[in-house]
């Protein structure tokens, strides 16, 4: 299975010229690892149409679930699809934390992405205070099951849906989740999927880790914690560091 390495640029960079510069550097660097990795850049929507590569696929960072209509400021699944996006991040903790994303809207968005043949990257993760209260497992189970409510196994399978574990406290803090802890969570997520759907599906699904990934720790999440991919924020804007991550991950 190829490792899925996803760049989440978030609200960066500030201009199309910078976006192209970073994208082209990533494109060039990723070429060497194209047999062992699938690389996706989730850029701000305004740049999507202007970015194109052979190695790197495109993804959205968020979307609304309706196809079109009077929803000022929103981007529909069809629009992402028409902008050549093959992936979309759904339920990122920054959306949940700052923009009132709920388990219910995440569920609608997952269904919307699948209906338009866009592969959803479903993000789940507990906050620091939930972790402190010992609620991690409960929160993850709730988030996964709510996101996949009334989504049939066949659709999950054909869409290639991935689940990304991004503990909120590890995002942008430089404080990545310890490997053994991440491994326990990976096993838990597999179990949740196996119980809801089946073991074969959980074995085929790609689970990603995200939260302060860098060139020094990337290998641990893949080799030791057994994740099939990584979701990278800050380091994905630094081409040399991002390529080092890919190299360590494959």
Which residues are identified as catalytic?
Answer: 92, 166
What is the rounded CA–CA span in Å between residue 183 and residue 204? 17
Residue 208: strand pairing partners = 164, 229
Q: Which of 172, 175, 198, 224 binds ligand 13P (CB under 6 A)?
A: 172
Q: Which of 233, 246, 248, 249 binds ligand 13P (CB under 6 A)?
A: 233
The verdict on 97 binding ligand 13P (CB under 6 A) reads: no
Between residues 105 and 197, which has the closer beta carbon with respect to ligand 13P?
A: 105
Please answer whether residues 19 and 49 qualify as being in contact, where contact means their C-beta atoms are separated by less than 8 angstroms: no
**Which of 202, 212, 217, 228 touches ligand 13P (CB under 6 A)?**
212
At 229, list the tokens.
């991919």
Query: Alpha-carbon distance 206 to 25, whole Å?
Result: 26
Query: Quick one: 172 or 200, whose CB is closer to ligand 13P?
Result: 172
- For the segment 3-62, give every residue that binds ligand 13P (CB under 6 A): 8
One residue of 177, 231, 245, 246 binding ligand 13P per CB under 6 A: 231
* 166 part of the interface to ligand 13P, by CB under 6 A: yes
Q: Where are the alpha helices (DSSP H) in the chain?
A: 16-30, 45-48, 77-82, 93-98, 103-115, 128-132, 136-147, 153-159, 179-196, 199-204, 218-219, 239-249
Q: Which two tokens stand for residue 128?
A: 């620091």
Q: Is residue 144 within a helix (H) or strand (E), and if so which, with residue range? A: helix 136-147
Measured from the CB atom, the residue of 210 and 215 that comes closer to ligand 13P is 210
Least distance (Å) between residue 8 CB and ligand 13P: 4
Per CB under 6 A, residues contacting ligand 13P are: 8, 92, 166, 171-172, 210-213, 231-235
């Amino acid at each position: 299975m190829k490792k899925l390495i996803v760049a989440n640029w978030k609200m960066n960079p500030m201009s199309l010229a910078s976006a192209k510069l970073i994208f082209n550097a990533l494109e060039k660097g990723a070429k060497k690892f194209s047999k062992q990795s699938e690389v996706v850049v989730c850029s701000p929507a305004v740049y999507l149409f202007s970015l194109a590569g052979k190695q790197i696929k495109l993804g959205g960072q968020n979307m609304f679930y309706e196809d079109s209509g009077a929803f000022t400021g929103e981007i529909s699944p069809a629009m992402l699809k028409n902008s050549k996006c093959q992936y979309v991040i759904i339920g990122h903790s920054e959306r949940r934390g700052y923009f009132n994303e709920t388990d219910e809207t995440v569920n609608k968005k997952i269904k919307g992405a699948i209906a338009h043949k866009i592969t959803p990257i479903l993000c789940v993760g507990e906050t620091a205070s939930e972790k402190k209260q010992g609620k991690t497992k409960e929160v993850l189970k709730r988030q996964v099951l709510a996101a996949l409510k009334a989504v049939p196994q066949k659709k999950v399978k054909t869409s290639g849906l991935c689940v990304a574990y991004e503990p909120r406290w590890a995002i942008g803090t430089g404080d990545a989740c310890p490997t053994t802890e991440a491994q326990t969570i990976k096993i838990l997520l597999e179990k949740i999927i196996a119980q809801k759907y089946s073991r074969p599906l959980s074995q085929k699904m790609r689970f990603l880790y995200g939260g302060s990934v860098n060139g020094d720790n990337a290998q641990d999440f893949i080799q030791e914690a057994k994740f099939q991919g990584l979701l990278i924020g800050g380091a994905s804007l630094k081409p040399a560091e991002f390529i080092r991550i890919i190299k360590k991950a494959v």
